[in-house]
Amino acid sequence: MIEKIRVAIFASGSGSNAENLVQYFNQHQKIEIVSFYCNNPSAAVIERAKKLNLPCLIFSKADFTTKGTVLLKLEEEKIDFIVLAGFLWLVPTYLVAKFPQKIVNIHPALLPKYGGKGMYGHKVHQAVAFNKDLETGISVHYVNELYDEGDIIFQAKIKVETTDTENSIAQKVHKLEYEHYPAVVEQIISKYFNV
């Protein structure tokens, strides 16, 4: 039997994308979601991990910013690829170096618009609504040591109607994420590992 590519998901919040990824890769022949990693002890993603029967490592800033618990666990679990799904901390240099072109993130806007430190979740949709943008969307990008600045791999757009609010934009963008993120991750992994 061929060994599957082992994927870890990092999340800080609700984890609805994380769960959607797990469902997509359930029974996948070549790719397996092995575990969740979470920096926020009160995040709902921890409950999702339990429900999905997946281990979830909860870690502190110190565990993460210097080589420590997180790296050890990734090695122990033989993780090949990392997917960020609503993960809010900057990924430290040692981890980017350990997983070159093997960490991806999804951002709920059309980068380079509305990226950078502090631009996440509702703040992004609020800015789109405030600026009366005519379109918004999602960006999947490689992760480097800077917030939202790695090379963009994929984008998808939606129209923003004049009647849209911050909440309705958030809902539409989430839907777009569920539609595209798993398949984009699948393509990136398949290409990288030639599977």
Tell me which residue has its CB nearest to ligand GRF: 86
Instruction: Determine, following the binding rule CB under 6 A, whether residue 13 of this chain makes contact with ligand GRF.
Output: yes
Among 31, 70, 103, 106, binds ligand GRF (CB under 6 A): 106
- Min dist CB 118 to ligand GRF, Å, is 13
Contact (Cβ atoms closer than 8 angstroms) between residue 6 and residue 33: no
Instruction: Determine, following the binding rule CB under 6 A, whether residue 160 of this chain makes contact with ligand GRF.
Output: no
**Residue 32 half-sphere exposure, CB side, CA atoms within 13 Å?**
14
Rounded distance between C-alpha atoms, residue 84 and residue 80, angstroms:
14
Q: How far is CA 22 from CA 8, 27, 60, 83, 164, in A?
A: 10, 10, 24, 11, 30
Just list the catalytic residues: 107
Among 37, 96, 108, 111, binds ligand GRF (CB under 6 A): 108
Among 63, 148, 164, 177, binds ligand GRF (CB under 6 A): 177
Report H helices in the chain. 16-25, 45-51, 61-65, 69-76, 93-98, 121-130, 166-193
- Min dist CB 120 to ligand GRF, Å, is 6
Instruction: Determine, following the binding rule CB under 6 A, whether residue 54 of this chain makes contact with ligand GRF.
Output: no
Among 17, 35, 39, 136, binds ligand GRF (CB under 6 A): 17
- Min dist CB 195 to ligand GRF, Å, is 25
Paired with 138 in beta bridges are 156
Instruction: Determine, following the binding rule CB under 6 A, whether residue 125 of this chain makes contact with ligand GRF.
Output: no
| Contact residues for ligand GRF, defined by CB under 6 A | 11, 13-18, 85-86, 106-108, 120-121, 174, 177
